[in-house]
Each structure stands twice: as C-alpha cells, then as structure tokens.
Structure 1
Amino acid sequence: MSKARVIVLSVVHQGLTKAEAARKFDVSWQWVHTLVTRYETGGLDALEPRSRRPHASSTSTPEHVRTRIIALRQQLTTDGLDAGPVTIAWHLDQEHLPVPSTSTIRRILHTAGLITPEPKKRPKSSYLRFEAHQPNETWQSDFTHWPLADGTDVEILNWLDDHSRMLLSCTAHDRVTGPDVVSTFTATTNTHGLPASTLTDNGTVYTARFTGGKNAFEYLLAALGIQQKNGHPYHPQTQGKIERFHQTLKRWLASQPPAATIAELQTQLDQFRVIYNERRPHRALDRLTPAQAYAATIKAHPNPNTLSAHYRVRFDTVDRFGKLTLRRAGNLHHLGIGHNHAGTAVLILVDETSATVTHLDTGEILSIHHIEPDRKYWRDQTKEPGRWPGSS
C-alpha cells in the first residue's frame, strides 16, 4: 500500500488529526490536507501520483494546423502528388499558416495513421549526387510507356533540365522516333534557348554510335556546338533524375481518368507540366519549385566557338525527282539530292553559309549545299562539279 493511502486511512479510520498524521509520517500538514481532500472527492484511486505535465502547451501545434496537415496529406495523395512533410510545409507556407518543423509534421501524420512503415532504405549519405550548376547546362531526356483507356501502349517523351528539374517538354507519341526527338528538341530550344549539353541513354533515337555512324539528333547537336553525353549501357542511375521523374509522372497519371486518345493524354500532360513546374516544391531544391529554380540563375550556353550565329531547322521529304525546295530571303531555291533518295524524309540544317541535308532516320549526310543567293539551283558540293545529283 502506498504511503499516501496509509496517511489518509490513519486520518479517516484511526482518528488521527491532520497535524498528528503529518508529524507521524514526516510530511507537511498541507500535504495531508491535500490527500484527504482528494480521497473525499475521488476515493482511494484519486491518491495515485499525478502527472506534472501542463494541461496546455504554448508551443504545441494549433488544432486547425493539425487538421490542415492531415487534409493536405489526403488531398495530395489522392491527386497523385508528393505528400511528404517538406511538401506539406510548403503548402502551409503558401496558405500563410504556421509551419511546424518537418519532424513535427511527420509525427502528426504518424499519429493519424497516415504513414505506412517502409523497409529501411539506403542512407542518403551513401549516394553520389551529380547536379549541373546552371540551368541549360545539361538537359536530360528519356521516354516511358503509358496505356490508354483501351490498353493501347503509347510512349511519353520528356526533356528535363538537370539543374532545376524544370520539365521543359512532355509529349505523347504512338512510338518515339528519331524525328520526334529532333522536333521536340528544336521546339524546346525555341522556347528555352540552347543547352550546353544533353544527357540521354544509348537508345537509337538518341545515338547511332554503336552502329558506327551518326543519326539526325547527333548531327544537329554537333552543328549547334552542343555536347552530347550518353550514360553507360545498363546503368540507368546516370539518368537518375529523369528516371525518378517518371515515377512522379506515372503516380499522377494513375490518379487521373484514363485517357481514351493520345490527344486526351497530351491534355493531361500539359496540365501536369504546369503543376510539376509551378505548384509543387522539390525537396532537392530547398522548397523551390522547378520554375523558380530555373529562373533564379543565369543560363548556360553551348561553346561559343562552335555555335553558328544563325541557324534554321526544317523537316522535308525528297520529291520524286530527287529534289528539295528551300525558301530563303523570300526566294525559292532548289536542292538536288538524287533520284535514289526520292521519298526520303530528311532534316535540313541551314546556317549562314550552307544547307546540310541529312537522312532523318539514320543521320547520314546526303548533301551539302553552299548558299548562293543569286542562283536558283544549289548543287551538292560533295558531288562532281557540273553534274546534277542522280543525272546520267
């Protein structure tokens, strides 16, 4: 029996006064009075030791903030977006609410049963993280698969800025081809400028180096002074940022109604690009959005010693006579490619002095034409002088 119970029983049942009980048990009269009062109010159970913890804490998270943290977790998860403590803290700040520490947010989510325990992960300190120092220093590109509502497999081609994680381009295709890579790349450069380098895997839409040649994309990069970097075969970690991005993209798409057509999927991708770039903080960017990080630093550029001051890219198909037509300064000029290339899809790269025609699928240089503004026909400078390509 506890000492408190013995003191109370000695007063209540043995008839000791409170002062006598205090002297007998070597405690203060006030303490004996407190114990007797507790007994009279709640019985013997009221004599058990009580916590000294205050009933309220001035530093505790307000209830309306707790409620909002839980609501944000549920809302972001339903939307297929990142719902971790860092992201929730960013949203609280955007809503001008008090922002607890991320550890406090994590405890609130854990108490609410909204955190699923995961196996112990590899420590972050064990990773070697590579990051470009400036926007446009390196663009990563890759494509991934996604099904339409009827199960048809389509491919999504992405261009991602390595420094800021800015999603520069996100397009849906029946199947990603070399021309798709070139056209999306040139469209992206028209909006965001030229990158200093690109980083991709060794897919044939990006490189033909394993077949001993160059494809249209490689030739275009070389002509623009852009360094091309390719990851080691069977080592996707080199393109880790875009590989991780694909997880984020697919998690968001999975929360949307299945798209019935490529056009509907493209509408969803356009919506996602705005959300990803402007309405979602990135934990690796110290709570900045990719758009904020992309705009915060001066942009990198290709090597100025190899970059043409002016260039134009055009896609065309060689006609049945083996010729192409090119408009320059308001005048039409004809390029002889050769009858044997009739019907071939080509890329034409025009700079200040020449127009170079390459096979769009293989990257093979088909002809090089020196720009002669006063001449209607530009002959292939790589062919024998005085002969029209394909003529006998």
Structure 2
Amino acid sequence: MSRSLPPSVRRQMIAFDPAALDAPSVSEFRRSLGVNRPSFYKIRDRHHSEGNAALNPRSRAPEQPARVFTDDTTKVVLGIRRRLKGKGWDAGPKSIWHAGVDEAEFPGSIPSVSTIARIPAGAAGNTGVVDANPRKRPRSSFIRFQRAAAMAMWQLDAFEYKLTDSERTKVTVYQLVDDSTGFDVGTAVFPSPENGQDAIATVGAAIDAYGVLQELLSDYADLGIMPMSV
C-alpha cells in the first residue's frame, strides 16, 4: 500500500507528531488518511533512514535489469544455431553457449544461457528461426475408449474367490459393469466354477433390473458363450 500513496499523504505522515498538544492518536490519524498501521510506520522509518526519498515510492525496476546485446551478438547466436542444426546437433541455448565460448565467437561480453534463449525469439523477421510450439490439443479432440453413453455397452468379467470359512469354500464372482459410467449393474456370486449358464443368469438379472443394453463385451472363450449384441 505504501508504494501507491501520494507525496502529500506521505508528507503528513512524516510530519505527524503524536506528542503534540491536541494531537489525535496514531490510530485516529491513520484512519483519517485511510492508511494502515504497517504502511504508516514503514514510511516514517524510511524517512528516518532515507530522508525525503520516502516521499516517493521506491522504483519497481529490477536491481539487475536484463542486459541488452548488440546486433553483432544476435547474429553470432543465430549463426551458431544454424550451424549446429545443419550438422544435426542439438541447437538449444546451452549448446549455443558452449559452442560460442569454445570458439570465442561472442563479441564483447558473453551472454548468459537465458539471454541466448531470448535472442532467437526476439530476432527481427524470426520466421523459421524458432520452432513454434504446438498448442495443446483440446480435450474434445481425444477419442475416448469408453462408450459415450450409459447402456451402450456392459463388460462382464469373472474371477474365483475363496471364502473365509473353515473349508475355504471357492465361489465364482461375476462382475457386470457399464462401460461408460463404471456403474456396477450386476455383481453376482455362484458356487460353481466359471461357466456360461451362470454368466447368462448374471446378465439376465441385470437386464431385468435396468433394461436392455446395446452391446455386451465378455471373454466368451472362457465362459463358453458367444459375444452378443442386443
């Protein structure tokens, strides 16, 4: 907040003497100016150490601004890049930096790797200089492996499971899941080993409960039933 206060308000804050006769309290004075406590004391402390410089906000310019290099440096960077790409080598900023340093090609000061990365993008008429990064594909362009709507396909799987009774009885669990929603439309358990009759019974019970589906996907080789479309 202190950086946006006008000089006139800053001057009042600096000149304020809470010990003066009939002076308002610090809180009342701050409220009259619309200034919070940290900003009030920050500007007064800054005036104590920096004098009238506190009447203006500090510069927001970076302490170490980005270095600007001459056209000669730009030409060297682009030339090294073309040479490396022509030889089939990596032409990234680090590779350009190492090549320029090893061959002493940079005129004057040696640019940093980050500066070299900016030079091709900022080169005049940079068409063909920098490879354009393709934009991410929209999510709508991806083809889903799942069916687009519920009841379009059910998937039937079966596996063997041992109960926790003393005899460790084996049962067969049939899972019937809607491919689009992942909803379990018919999990059933049978005491017999995996077979087509129990699989058909599982599907039939689900159809009775939820209606007729469009397509059924199952491992018919193991179940002994043919894939079906209804």
TM-score between the two structures when normalised by the length of structure 1: 0.21
* Larger proportion of strand: 1
Structure number with greater CO (CA < 8 Å, separation at least 6) is 1
Q: Which entry has the higher C-alpha Rg, 1 or 2?
A: 2
Q: TM-score, normalised by structure 2?
A: 0.35
